[in-house]
Amino acid sequence: MGDEINSFGGGQTLFSFSWDDAFVAAMQDDSPIKNKVGAAPLPGSDRVWNRSSGAWENEFNQAPYIVWGWTAAVAKASKNQDVAFDYLCFFANDANHQADIAIGRFGVNPFKKSDFVPELYVERQGWDPEIAKQYAETLMEMEEGSTNRVFPLRVPGVFQFNSAIATGTSKALAGQLSPQEALDEVAAEWKKIVKRIGADTVREAYAIGVALEDNL
C-alpha cells in the first residue's frame, strides 16, 4: 500500500486502484503531478452473474467497492476514559481532520458531508476546480447514488486468500506463469485454505457480508 501511494503520488505510476490516499498524495504540493490527475468510479461490466436467478445476464452493471474505514474506541476497563475521549475529540476536530485528509500517507479519507464540497479542496489545498469537482462527485455518487455496492471480503482466512491472489498476480505479471496458469494455481491454493478453515465456516461468514450488501 505504501509503495502504491508513493509511486502514484510521485508520478511514477499510470493509475491507482486503491483508497483515496494515492490520489491525495498526487494532489499534494510536493507532487510533480499535482492537478494533472483525475478520479473516476471503477469500470463496470456488460455481462454479469445474477446470483438470484443463477444465470448470466447481458446488461451493464457497475458496483462501487465500499471498504470498511478506520474507527476508534475506548476500552470499558480503561481508568482514564474521559482523557481518552477528550484526545479522540481533539484528534478528530475539524481543523485536524481537514489537515489529515490533505496528506495521502495519513490514510484519513473523506466521510463527513462537508468533505464532499469541491470548494473545500480548491480553497484550502489549491486543487484545480474541475479535478476537485470530479473527486467529490465520484465519492458522493458511490456513497449516496448507488444501491449496488460490493464490500471487501470479510471471512476467516481473508488474508490467506488475498495473499494467494497477490502471489498469482505477481507470477503472471513477471511472466513466470500464463494468466490461466496463475488463476489455476490461485484456485488450487484457495481450495486448500477452505479445507483448512472449513467450507461451512467460510460460507456462513460470506453470507453475512452479502446480506449487508443487499440491505443497503
Closest CA to 141 of 47, 214, 66, 60: 66
Whether 129 and 202 share a structural domain? no
Note the pLDDT of residue 157. Answer: 95
**Per-residue pLDDT tens over the stretch 145-170:** 777 777 788 899 999 999 999 999 99
Note the pTM of the prediction, 2 decimals.
0.72
Using the predicted structure, report yes or no on whether residue 197 has a pLDDT greater than 90: yes
Whether 128 and 47 share a structural domain? yes
**Per-residue pLDDT tens over the stretch 180-192:** 999 999 999 999 9
Note the pLDDT of residue 216. Answer: 60
Whether 113 and 190 share a structural domain? no
Separation between Cα atoms, residue 158 and residue 68, nearest integer Å: 14
Separation between Cα atoms, residue 216 and residue 211, nearest integer Å: 9
Whether 78 and 115 share a structural domain? yes
Name the grid cell of 47.
Answer: 455481462
Whether 135 and 66 share a structural domain? yes
Whether 43 and 64 share a structural domain? yes
E strands in the chain: 48-50, 55-57
Name the grid cell of 110.
Answer: 473523506
Average of per-residue pLDDT across 3-13: 87
Q: What b/e string do you get for 33-53 counting C-beta neighbours within 10 Å, with b at 16 or more?
A: bbeebebebeeeeeeeeeeee
Separation between Cα atoms, residue 74 and residue 142, nearest integer Å: 30
- Residue where a domain stops, chosen among 149, 173, 201: 149
Count up the domains in the chain and report the number: 2
DSSP for 142-157 reads IIII-S--BPPP-STT
Note the pLDDT of residue 86. Answer: 95
Note the pLDDT of residue 29. Answer: 94
- Residue where a domain stops, chosen among 132, 149, 166: 149
Domain that residue 100 falls in: 1-149
**Per-residue pLDDT tens over the stretch 95-148:** 898 888 888 888 888 888 888 899 999 999 999 999 999 999 988 887 777 777
Whether 137 and 179 share a structural domain? no
- Residue where a domain stops, chosen among 123, 149, 175: 149
Note the pLDDT of residue 153. Answer: 83
Note the pLDDT of residue 109. Answer: 84
